[in-house]
Amino acid sequence: MRRLHALVISQQVHRCNSKSQCHKSGQCSKRYPKPYCEQTYFDGLNVVYRRRHLDNGGNTVLIHSGDRVVRISNADIVPYNIFTLLDLENHHDLEVINSATAIGYILKYEYKGCDKSYIAITKAREGDNTIVDYDEPKAFRLV
């Protein structure tokens, strides 16, 4: 459990300040710190994860952030999977996807593929000014 606790503190804390990309209009666009909640439930639009308040067994930890000490609590922890965190030891955000648009967004990257270019490299002969013209659309036409 000590290893898990150390990984959560080092990898899963949402650190947001006025210089962060998620900090817009004076507040965090990711809505951190999250509200405390005694149980995980679905509110019809989002899943609200259990985050215990300090009065009900929640934790706080002091961490060093740059030149200052910051107090973090359960409200600052990004949702994670215990097994993934212990195995990979890196930051990840594991949340429930419950809308068709979110699934479409994820699948877009799956089917997009990687960017590709086809080029031809030839050895130039002395005095030869040949232009290599590669017709990429022709390469993909079905015959």
> Cα(first)–Cα(last) distance of the chain, in Å?
62
Output the pLDDT for position 3.
Answer: 92
Q: Write the DSSP assignment of 54-102 as a string of letters.
A: GGGT--EEEEEETTEEEEEEGGGBPP--HHHHHHH-S--------SHHH
- The full set of domain ranges for the chain reads 2-112
Output the pLDDT for position 102.
Answer: 72
Q: Tell me the mean pLDDT in the region 88-97.
A: 82
Span of 24-38, 71-85, 120-134 with lowest mean pLDDT: 120-134
pTM confidence score: 0.62
Q: Reduced to 3 states, what is the DSSP secondary structure of residue 114?
A: coil
Q: Is the pLDDT of residue 19 over 60?
A: yes
Q: Is the pLDDT of residue 136 over 70?
A: no
Cα-to-chain-centroid distance, residue 76: 15
CA dihedral 123, 126, 127, 131 (to 10 degrees): 0
- Rounded CA gap, 47 and 40, in Å? 7
Span of 9-13, 46-50, 96-100, 115-119 with lowest mean pLDDT: 115-119
Output the pLDDT for position 140.
Answer: 62
Q: Is the pLDDT of residue 129 over 70?
A: no
